[in-house]
Amino acid sequence: MIIIVKNGTPVDEVTRISKELRDAWGVTVEKSVGKHKVILGLVGDTATIDPLQVQNSSPWIEQVLRVERPFKRASREFRHGEASEVVVPTPNGSVYIGEQHPVVLVAGPCSVENEAMIVETAKRVKAAGAKFLRGGAYKPRTSPYAFQGYGESALDLLAAAREATGLGIITELMDAADLPALSRVADVIQVGARNMQNFSLLKKVGAQDKPVLIKRGMSATIDEWLMAAEYILAAGNPNVILCERGIRTFDAKYVRNTLDLSVIPVLRKLTHLPIMIDPSHGTGNSEYVAPMAMASLAAGADSLMIEVHPNPTKALSDGPQSLTPEKFDRLVQEMSVLGKVIGRWSEPEKQRALVASV
């Protein structure tokens, strides 16, 4: 259930209403301040609450609505139709991710291999316009014999890349025991597709303050995905980003996964959370990454995650789907044309400097 408070309601009155609701009904009351409205979200057993009774309890209450979705905090209704934004502090300044902001680019290799490689890649993707470096220190692999990542030592290499470039860091958490070490380096903590329904892990990342990127499970429905996000939100962390990375369907002959771009307008209707698309995992083939990245941009994605490696043929993991820095440069230039048309593009620093000097 959500309660829409009238514009101009004093803060003390909002606090009083919240306390009365908690005391009377034993629910949790969460305040959401939007651009035009203050909304109180009631979480708990609201089935016996009479909306009309709540409506008449205060002249400051404009409207009372029931949220029918099982994912209450993640639902669009919970913010009365307004989109949320995730603000990530980085060494280069705060980055805003959400539908009211320019598209945010995330790029880097599947795995962190050595310091020279990760720092070189970070510099190249930053020059092209990326705001975040992605790179795996801990790698979930189908085969126990495949490269699993270098673990905590790779986190030190990501920290070196962050120091050299000022990029934000996005890296995957597999085990809650690694959370303290990973949090010291990561600006955004990634929960991978295989852990989307690892509910104990979701509760752990929900109880800490860093933003969380949650990838859709390979066979997960949209409701299951949003309920996974609900775990994080319910644990107290409001900064959640959804990432579509392809789902498993019946034809894996030509592409690694089926990239579900129809999920973008569906999520826009269902949830207020920002949406990221990963065309690299979604296709598994570097040849298809560019067209699907362009399609994601056109469909309304808030962010794109693209794998970039200086020498994909020698990558320790996911080389076939990785772009070279040169191909990533060209892709960003192509996306900038479309991005400007739809009003969701911000020029990288080197381009702004070039324009200013002319």
Task: Tell me the average pLDDT across 343-354.
Answer: 66
Q: Where are the domains of the chain?
A: 2-66, 86-356
For 224, residues 6+ apart whose C-beta sits below 8 A from its C-beta are 196, 197, 217
Mean pLDDT of the chain: 92
> What does the DSSP assignment read for 114-166?
-HHHHHHHHHHHHHHT-SEEE-BSS---SSTTS----THHHHHHHHHHHHHH-
Q: What pTM value is reported for the model?
A: 0.87
Sign of CA dihedral 40, 240, 106, 204: positive
Work out the angle at residue 65's Cα, subtended by the Cα atoms of residues 61 and 68, and round it to the nearest 5 degrees: 160
pLDDT at residue 349 tops 60: no
pLDDT digits (tens, 9 = 90+) for 232-274: 999 999 999 999 999 999 887 899 999 999 999 999 999 999 9
Q: How far apart are CA 172 and CA 183, in angstroms?
A: 10
Instruction: Name the CATH architecture for the domain at 2-66.
Output: 2-Layer Sandwich (3.30)
Instruction: Name the CATH architecture for the domain at 86-356.
Output: Alpha-Beta Barrel (3.20)
| Helix (H/G/I), strand (E/B), else coil: 111 | strand
pLDDT at residue 358 tops 80: no
pLDDT digits (tens, 9 = 90+) for 285-311: 999 999 999 999 999 999 999 999 999
